[in-house]
Structure 1
Amino acid sequence: MGKLALRFIQWLKEGQGQVVLKHLIDELDQQRGHLFGWVPIGLGLGIGLYFHLKVEPSLSILLTFAILGIAASLLVLKSAPSLSPILLLCILCALGFSIAGLRANWVAGPVLEYRYYGPITGRLINIDRSFSDKIRLTLDQVHLDRMAPDKTPKRVRISLHGDQRFITLAPGMTLMTTGHLSQPSGPVEPGGFDFQRHSWFIGLGGLGYTRVPALELRAPEKGSSLAIFRARKAISRGILAGMQGREAGFAAAIAVGDRANLDQETVHALRDTNLAHLLAISGLHMGLLTGFVFTLIRLIFASVPYVALRLPIKKIAASCAMIAAFAYLLMSGASVATERAFIMVMVMLGAILVNRRAISLRAVALAATIVLILRPESLVSPGFQMSFAATTALVAVFGAWRNVRLPETWPRLPKFLQPIIGVAASSAIAGLATAPFGAAHFNQIAQFGLIANLASVPVMGLIVMPGAVLAGCLAPFGGAWIGLWVMKIGISWILSVAEFVAAMDGAVTYIPRPDTAVLPILSLGMLFLIVWRGRVRWLGVGGVMAAILLWFQVERPQMLVSESGNLFGLMSKQGRILSHAKGDGFVASAWPENDGDGLDQSGANNRAGLVTADKVVLAKFGSQKILITRGKYAPEQIAQNCHKATISILAQKAPEVDGCRILGRAELKKLGSLSIKEEKGELVILGAKQATGRRLWTR
Structure 2
Amino acid sequence: MLDWGREQNRELDDDSAHGIGERFKAQAADLIPKTLGYLLTSSRRQSWRSRIAEAFDRECRYGHDVFFVPVFLGMGAALWFSLRTPPRTDIIAALAILALIGRWLGGVRGDKRRPGAVAALILSGMLCAAWETDRQSTIILDQPVVTEISGVVERREAGSSTEWRYIITLHETARPTIRRAPQRISLLARARHAPVPIGATIAGRARLSPPSGPALPGMNDFAFQSFYAQIGAIGYFLGAPKSIAAKAESETSWATRVEAWQYQLRDRISNRIREILPGDTGGFAASIITGERRSMSREATEALRLSGLAHITAISGLNMALAAGIFFVGARRLLSLIPFVAQAFPIKKLAALGALFAITGYVMISGYQVSAVRAYLMTAVMLSAVLIDRPAISLRNLCLAATIMIACQPSIVLGPSFQMSFAATAALISGYARWTARPPSFLPKAKGAPARLALSVGKLFSATFLTSVIGALSTAVFSIWHFHRLSTHGLEANLAAMPLISLLVMPAGFLAMLAMPLGLDEPFFHVMGFGLDLVLDVAHTTASWGEGIAFERMPPWFILGAIAGLLLLTLLRTWLRLAGGLIFLLTALAAATVPTATPADLFVSEDARLVALWAADQKGAAAVNRLRPSAFLYDQWRPVLGIRHTEFPIQLAELRLPQMSPRGELLTATAQEEARVVLERLVHAAVANRFTCVKGACSVLVYGNKILTMDRPDVVGQACDLADIVVLAARSSVQSCRSGAILLTESSLRSSGALEIWIDPESQRQFTIRPSFEGRPFPWTSHRLYDWRTATSAENHGMIHPKSERPASINDSDG
Q: Please give the TM-score of this superposition, normalised by the length of structure 2.
A: 0.77
Equivalent residue number for residue 578 of structure 2: 538
Letter in 2 for 1:678: I
Give distance in 2, aligned partners of 1:102 and 1:224.
25
Equivalent residue number for residue 48 of structure 1: 78
Give distance in 2, aligned partners of 1:323 and 1:225.
18
8 A contact 1:122–1:139 mirrored in 2? yes
Shift of 1:495: 0.8
Equivalent residue number for residue 509 of structure 1: 549
| Higher alpha-carbon deviation: 299-308 or 25-34 | 299-308
Q: Deviations over 1:440-482 (max 9, x none)?
A: 2112111111111111122112111111122222223332111
Letter in 2 for 1:666: S
Give distance in 2, aligned partners of 1:447 and 1:585.
25
Residue 259 in 1 paired to residue 337 in 2?
A: no
Residue in structure 2 matching 1:213, options 218, 232, 240 = 240
Alignment gaps of 5+ in structure 2: 1-41, 447-454, 651-687, 783-815
Shift of 1:21: 6.5
Count of matched residue positions in the alignment of Structure 1 and Structure 2: 674
Letter in 1 for 2:150: T
8 A contact 1:56–1:696 mirrored in 2? no
Equivalent residue number for residue 630 of structure 2: 584
Q: Pick closer, same or farther for the CA change 1:172–1:410 going to 2, 3 Å.
A: closer
8 A contact 1:63–1:98 mirrored in 2? yes
8 A contact 1:611–1:617 mirrored in 2? yes
SS in 2 for 1:208: strand
Equivalent residue number for residue 568 of structure 1: 611
Equivalent residue number for residue 569 of structure 2: 529
1:412-491 matches, cutoff 5 A: 412=445, 414-491=455-532
SS in 2 for 1:384: helix
Give distance in 2, aligned partners of 1:190 and 1:493.
41
Equivalent residue number for residue 781 of structure 2: 698
SS in 2 for 1:591: helix
SS in 2 for 1:36: helix
| Higher alpha-carbon deviation: 175-184 or 429-438 | 175-184
SS in 2 for 1:482: helix
Residue in structure 1 matching 2:729, options 651, 656, 673 = 651
Give distance in 1, aligned partners of 2:315 and 2:279.
21
SS in 2 for 1:31: helix
1:629-648 matches, cutoff 5 A: 629-630=710-711, 633-636=712-715, 638-648=716-726
Give distance in 1, aligned partners of 2:215 and 2:737.
29
Equivalent residue number for residue 211 of structure 2: 184
Q: Deviations over 1:492-525 (max 9, x none)?
A: 1011111111112x34221223223321221111
Letter in 2 for 1:287: A
Q: Pick closer, same or farther for the CA change 1:330–1:533 going to 2, 3 Å.
A: closer
Residue 559 in 1 paired to residue 586 in 2?
A: no
Give distance in 2, aligned partners of 1:151 and 1:131.
34
Give distance in 2, aligned partners of 1:290 and 1:623.
67
Equivalent residue number for residue 392 of structure 1: 426
SS in 1 for 2:426: helix
1:604-683 matches, cutoff 5 A: 605=648, 609-615=689-695, 616-630=697-711, 633-636=712-715, 638-654=716-732, 655=734, 657-659=737-739, 660-678=741-759, 681=762, 682-683=766-767
Residue 31 in 1 paired to residue 115 in 2?
A: no
Shift of 1:598: 6.7
Give distance in 1, aligned partners of 2:703 and 2:393.
57
Equivalent residue number for residue 588 of structure 2: 548
Residue in structure 2 matching 1:518, options 555, 558, 573 = 558
Shift of 1:80: 5.4
Letter in 2 for 1:268: E
SS in 2 for 1:358: coil
Residue 72 in 1 paired to residue 102 in 2?
A: yes
Shift of 1:110: 1.9
Shift of 1:327: 0.6
SS in 2 for 1:512: coil
Shift of 1:150: 8.6
Give distance in 2, aligned partners of 1:116 and 1:472.
43
Equivalent residue number for residue 689 of structure 1: 773
Q: Deviations over 1:119-141 (max 9, x none)?
A: 11111122247899953221114
8 A contact 1:127–1:260 mirrored in 2? no
Equivalent residue number for residue 810 of structure 2: none
Q: Pick closer, same or farther for the CA change 1:197–1:470 going to 2, 3 Å.
A: same
Letter in 1 for 2:575: R
| Higher alpha-carbon deviation: 203-212 or 21-30 | 21-30
Letter in 1 for 2:56: L
8 A contact 1:65–1:98 mirrored in 2? no
Q: Pick closer, same or farther for the CA change 1:372–1:673 going to 2, 3 Å.
A: same
Q: Pick closer, same or farther for the CA change 1:604–1:590 going to 2, 3 Å.
A: farther
User: Which entry has the higher C-alpha Rg, 1 or 2?
Assistant: 2
Shift of 1:625: 4.2
Give distance in 2, aligned partners of 1:459 and 1:127.
30
Q: Deviations over 1:19-57 (max 9, x none)?
A: 777555434322222211111111121112112111243
SS in 2 for 1:78: coil
Letter in 2 for 1:66: A
8 A contact 2:569–2:580 mirrored in 1? yes
Residue in structure 1 matching 2:383, options 344, 349, 355 = 349
SS in 2 for 1:675: strand
Q: Deviations over 1:239-287 (max 9, x none)?
A: 2222233211211222222334211111111111111111122333222
Q: Pick closer, same or farther for the CA change 1:231–1:27 going to 2, 3 Å.
A: same
Q: Deviations over 1:182-203 (max 9, x none)?
A: 3222111111111111111000
Shift of 1:626: 3.0
Q: Pick closer, same or farther for the CA change 1:518–1:332 going to 2, 3 Å.
A: same
Q: Please give the TM-score of this superposition, normalised by the length of structure 1.
A: 0.89
Equivalent residue number for residue 58 of structure 1: 88
8 A contact 1:121–1:144 mirrored in 2? yes
Letter in 2 for 1:560: F
Q: Pick closer, same or farther for the CA change 1:420–1:580 going to 2, 3 Å.
A: same
Give distance in 1, aligned partners of 2:554 and 2:610.
23
Give distance in 1, aligned partners of 2:178 and 2:440.
70
Give distance in 2, aligned partners of 1:54 and 1:252.
41
Give distance in 2, aligned partners of 1:329 and 1:252.
14
Give distance in 1, aligned partners of 2:274 and 2:572.
50
Shift of 1:213: 2.6
Residue in structure 1 matching 2:640, options 570, 591, 594 = 594
Letter in 2 for 1:50: W
Give distance in 2, aligned partners of 1:438 and 1:129.
28
Letter in 2 for 1:574: G
SS in 1 for 2:556: coil
SS in 1 for 2:278: coil
Give distance in 2, aligned partners of 1:451 and 1:97.
42
Shift of 1:543: 2.6
Letter in 2 for 1:487: M
Residue 326 in 1 paired to residue 353 in 2?
A: no
Alignment gaps of 5+ in structure 1: 1-13
Equivalent residue number for residue 283 of structure 2: 249
Equivalent residue number for residue 28 of structure 2: none
SS in 2 for 1:239: helix
Give distance in 2, aligned partners of 1:188 and 1:129.
27
8 A contact 2:59–2:573 mirrored in 1? yes
| Higher alpha-carbon deviation: 46-55 or 126-135 | 126-135
Equivalent residue number for residue 8 of structure 1: none
SS in 2 for 1:262: coil
8 A contact 1:501–1:507 mirrored in 2? no
C-alpha root-mean-square deviation of aligned residues, in Å?
3.0
Equivalent residue number for residue 9 of structure 1: none
8 A contact 1:394–1:429 mirrored in 2? yes
